[in-house]
Structure formats: structure tokens, C-alpha cells
């Protein structure tokens, strides 16, 4: 068998991942049997690919420089709980108005139906003061490194950072 087809080619949509979207849907559905743990991780993954495709990404200085980017929500034990391929404006995550990184964290949490009380760990690509505020409103914890430029751009940064560090948030 040279290839596997899971979608009828006569039903093309504007989703650049329409041919493999059913696989992602089935995998995400199968991940739901795993119970949530207290700590969750949000990160990006790369699937190596050197061919031609509109969603292929290039990341300088990484071990896998060319390929498809996946946003992933994983349990602290390492098991994947939800994943979404990055397709630019066609990524199936809701836009929150907080920027791409916070939108990924909030979108993965919504799609995976994460219960209140879970705590998220993420890196500086996702962390912002707006995300920390939104996660607090949703009664979820959030912890991550923050780029200095993000702190400098916020007009409330000194007060908010003091609240975050002292645990009053």
C-alpha cells in the first residue's frame, strides 16, 4: 500500500490539513480517555518535512528546522492530551485578542475541556500578563518564563509582576 486516504478528494475545504484532519480528530478524541493531571504543559513540536506545502515552517537554530508545527497540550507524565497543527490563519484555535501564544494556550484548554484547578506550564512564546490574568479568571494556574520586552511593553508591568511574584494574583 503506497498511501492511505482518509478523506474524499472531491470534498476539498480551505483547511490546508483537510486530508489529515480526521486523523487529528480521532487522536484528540482517543486522548480524552486519559484523566487530567494537576499539571499540564503547552508547547510546540515540529514534524520533520522537507517537501513542498504551504504550512511548512522554518525555525532557525532548532534541531528540526523544516517541517510542520504542532501545538500540543501534554500531561505531566508526558502523554499528549490534545494537539492542533499550525496552519497560519487556518489554525482551528479561537482568537482571543491576547496574541498568538496566549490564544494557543486558551484554545487548547477549551478544546481539551480542561477542568478548573489545573495548572499550565509554558515557555516564553506563550506567556504574557494578559494570559496570566485570563487564566486566573478561569480558575486555572499558569506559570512560564517571560521575555523582558513583554514586560517593558506593558504599562502596568511593574505592579502586575510584583503581584505575580508575591502570589497575590
Under the banding of pLDDT at 50, 70 and 90, the label for residue 1 is very low
pTM of the model: 0.75
Q: Which is higher by pLDDT, 20 or 2?
A: 20
Say what the pLDDT of residue 151 is. Answer: 52
**Residue located via cell numbers 499558569:** 142
Domain count of the fold of the chain: 1
Give the integer Cα–Cα distance in Å for 120 and 109: 9
Q: Which of 160, 94, 88 is nearest to 127 (CA)?
A: 160
Say what the pLDDT of residue 148 is. Answer: 67
- Report, as an integer, the average pLDDT of 28-54: 85
* Domain boundaries, position 148: 21-166
Q: Which is higher by pLDDT, 88 or 142?
A: 142
Whether 1 is in a domain gets the answer no
* Confidence check: pLDDT of 3 > 80: no
Spatial contact of 18 and 85, defined as CB atoms under 8 Å apart: no
Instruction: Kindly state the percentage of the chain with pLDDT values over 90.
Output: 2
CATH code, 71: 3.30.420
Whether 81 is in a domain gets the answer yes
Angle between the N-to-C axes of helices 157-166 and 129-137, in degrees from 0 to 180, rounded to the nearest 10 = 50
Whether 111 is in a domain gets the answer yes
Tens of pLDDT along 116-150? 888 898 888 888 888 888 888 889 888 888 776 55
DSSP 53: -
* Confidence check: pLDDT of 4 > 70: yes
Sign, CA dihedral 95-99-100-103, equals: negative
* Confidence check: pLDDT of 153 > 70: no
Amino acid at each position: 500500500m503506497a498511501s492511505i486516504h482518509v478523506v474524499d478528494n472531491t470534498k476539498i475545504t480551505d483547511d490546508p490539513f483537510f486530508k489529515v484532519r480526521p486523523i487529528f480528530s480521532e487522536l484528540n478524541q482517543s486522548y480524552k480517555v486519559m484523566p487530567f493531571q494537576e499539571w499540564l504543559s503547552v508547547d510546540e513540536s515540529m514534524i520533520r518535512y522537507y517537501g513542498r506545502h504551504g504550512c511548512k515552517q522554518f525555525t532557525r537554530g532548532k534541531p528540526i528546522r523544516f517541517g510542520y508545527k504542532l501545538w500540543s497540550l501534554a500531561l505531566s507524565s508526558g502523554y499528549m492530551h490534545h494537539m492542533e497543527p499550525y496552519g497560519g490563519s487556518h489554525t482551528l484555535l479561537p482568537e482571543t485578542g491576547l496574541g498568538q501564544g496566549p490564544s494557543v494556550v486558551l484554545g487548547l484548554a477549551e478544546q481539551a475541556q480542561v477542568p478548573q484547578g489545573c495548572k499550565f506550564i509554558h515557555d516564553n512564546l506563550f506567556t504574557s500578563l494578559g494570559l496570566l490574568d485570563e487564566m486566573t479568571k478561569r480558575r486555572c494556574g499558569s506559570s512560564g518564563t517571560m521575555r523582558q520586552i513583554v514586560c517593558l511593553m506593558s504599562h502596568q508591568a511593574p505592579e502586575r509582576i510584583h503581584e505575580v511574584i508575591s502570589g497575590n494574583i
